[in-house]
């Protein structure tokens, strides 16, 4: 009986950690979807270089991307059901103080793993978003003539040197 309880507690801990990782992964995927950024593992390699082929690659990658989000949601649902089943089983067998201690320890470990995973996913998203949607720097060389007079080259150079 003791060995089965230990196995159930370890399984509860592993499932809780897995659920936390899946939640951070789902958050990452949803953030990518909202910012129109496709993760590297879902990007097709472009062997044909035409606009039509590029659009087809993009649509295929995005379709797989949405399927991955649904897969994560299904897996989260299954893990939540398993966690509930083990939770009820352990709560019946263990004393209230033992169950409280195990619940607290597994929650803290899952939260710690979740924070690490969240930080990694945020760095990964920032890097992906930067490469897929580079920001264009604006040039300060534009001069707007509000005077209505034609500027000669000397005045134009003087105004560009001040800025």
pLDDT tens-digit map of 18-57: 999 999 999 999 998 898 888 887 777 777 778 888 888 8
As a whole number of angstroms, the distance between CA 31 and CA 124 comes to 11
Report whether 96 contacts 104 (CB < 8 A): no
Q: Which residue has the tokens 């083990």?
A: 86
Tell me the CA distances in angstroms from 102 to 49, 91, 123, 152, one per residue in order. Answer: 56, 10, 32, 80
Q: What is the pLDDT of residues 87-140, one digit of tens each?
A: 999 989 999 999 999 999 999 999 999 999 999 999 998 888 888 877 766 556
Picking from 80, 39, 43, 79, the residue whose alpha carbon sits closest to that of residue 58 is 43
**Taking the CA of residue 119 as centre, how many other CA atoms within 13 Å lie in the half-sphere pointing to its CB?**
5
Domain ranges in the chain are 2-162
Confidence of residue 161 (pLDDT cuts 50, 70, 90): low
Q: What are phi and psi of 150, to 5 degrees?
A: -75, 130
């Amino acid at each position: 009986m003791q060995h089965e309880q230990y196995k159930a507690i370890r399984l509860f801990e592993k499932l809780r950690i897995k659920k936390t990782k899946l939640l951070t992964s789902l958050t990452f995927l949803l953030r990518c979807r909202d910012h129109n950024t496709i993760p590297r593992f879902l990007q097709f390699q472009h062997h044909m270089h035409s606009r039509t082929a590029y659009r087809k690659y993009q649509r295929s990658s995005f379709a797989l991307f949405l399927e991955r989000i649904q897969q994560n949601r299904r897996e989260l649902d299954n893990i939540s059901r398993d966690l509930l089943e083990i939770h009820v089983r352990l709560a019946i067998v263990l004393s209230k103080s033992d169950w409280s201690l195990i619940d607290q320890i597994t929650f803290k470990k899952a939260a710690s793993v979740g924070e690490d995973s969240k930080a990694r996913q945020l760095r990964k998203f920032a890097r992906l978003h930067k490469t897929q949607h580079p920001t264009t720097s604006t040039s300060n060389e534009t001069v707007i003539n509000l005077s209505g007079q034609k500027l000669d080259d000397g005045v134009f150079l003087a105004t560009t040197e001040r800025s």
